[in-house]
Amino acid sequence: MISALRIERTSTTPLVFWDNDASELLIDGICCPIDAHNFFTPVEDWLKENSEKLTQKTRFVFCLKFFNSSSAKAIFQFLKELKPIVAEKKIGNIYWVIEDNDDFMIDSHEDYQELLEMKIEVIERKEK
Amino acid sequence: MAPTSSLNYHGRLTDDLRANICDLLRQSLRDNLDGIKQISKLVLYALELLDNAQRYSTVNDVRFECEAKNGELTLSVINKASLEDANRLMETVNSLRNKSSDEINVIYKKSLSNNQFGSKGGAGLGFLQILRNGSNELNVHVEQLSGDIHLCKSVLVAKITINSELFPSSAI
């Protein structure tokens, strides 16, 4: 059984929620904590703890409105942890939501794909 | 006449305030400058300067000024900081001053992929992020107040682009 993970949304941090039924990890909201490394540590720990139990159905969804540069590096580190798991399990389901053709989110997606040499699917949305 | 907009704040800076200032700036630019493009990047500039102010302030008293005028967005953030932090910020900006955009991009990607965070949570990417996204000018000034307390002033100027096909009356 994959352990539960739920970090509630705040004004500067996103909701982080593992939905066991959908086999989906959602990171949703604004991400600009002063210390993003500290914020993402429990998420990385959860990934390490549960990586063996993830399946091909598993999805990782990044739905971020905007994020600061400290978070940019923390997200990079998280994706780096995810990369061998994706390669080994062939889960291949990492999604990057881009609202309203947001130029910053488009550039960030390109950076991560290029630097990590991994496929990150884009989901385009209109802002709610 | 080119549209103008300004937003100023002076006082304590908390997580909530930082996020709310960025949200207000985003809405203010969107509602006052028809057809403005790249809002996210402009808001990102403010966020990075405010992050630094909150991270390195020795006294929680920050002044934030933002003005969109004559096709440019000017952002200014002033906070009190230790000489060490203020000088480090200033030296970082000075070291990047004569770099080409390609060089900035290379340094940014190298810094993004290293695993290093500062003791106060900084990733060493903020100014790089600002410069690679097209800020025209970025300066940090340091002024001694008393003892080790210094005034750190970060000023940034960025060009505002307007979608003139959709909003010809707002073209700057």
Residue that wins the pLDDT comparison between A44 and A87: A44
CA distances from B124 to A35, A117, A118, B64, B129 (A): 12, 23, 24, 21, 9
Give the C-alpha distances (Å, rounded to integers) separating A40 from A23, A59, B60, B159. Answer: 20, 18, 26, 34
Q: Is B144 on the interface with A (CB under 8 A)?
A: no
Cβ-contact A21, A13 below 8 angstroms: no
pLDDT along chain B (172 residues), means of 10: 81 95 92 84 94 93 94 94 91 91 94 90 90 85 87 94 62 42
pLDDT given for residue B169 in this prediction: 53
- pLDDT range class, residue A19, cuts 50, 70, 90: very high
Size of interface A-B (CB pairs under 8 A): 87
Q: Higher pLDDT residue, A10 or A89?
A: A10
Burial class (CB in 10 A: 0-12, 13-18, 19+), B109: middle
Q: How far is B160 from chain A (nearest CA, A)?
A: 14
Is some CB atom of chain A closer than 8 A to the CB atom of B22?
Answer: yes
Cα separations (Å) of B71 from A32, B3, B34, B45, B166? Answer: 28, 8, 12, 16, 17
Closest residue by Cα to residue A37 from B118, B14, B108, B125: B118
Chain A hits for B138, Cβ within 8 Å: none
Q: Are B121 and A36 in contact (CB < 8 Å)?
A: yes
Choice between A14 and A102, residue whose per-residue pLDDT is larger: A14
Q: Which of B117, B120, B161, B163 to mutate to test the interface with A (most CBs of A within 10 A)?
A: B117
Taking only Cα atoms into account, the Rg of chain B, rounded to an integer number of angstroms, comes to 16
State the smallest CA–CA distance between residue A52 and chain B in angstroms: 24
pLDDT at A28: 97
The predicted pLDDT at position B165 comes to 60
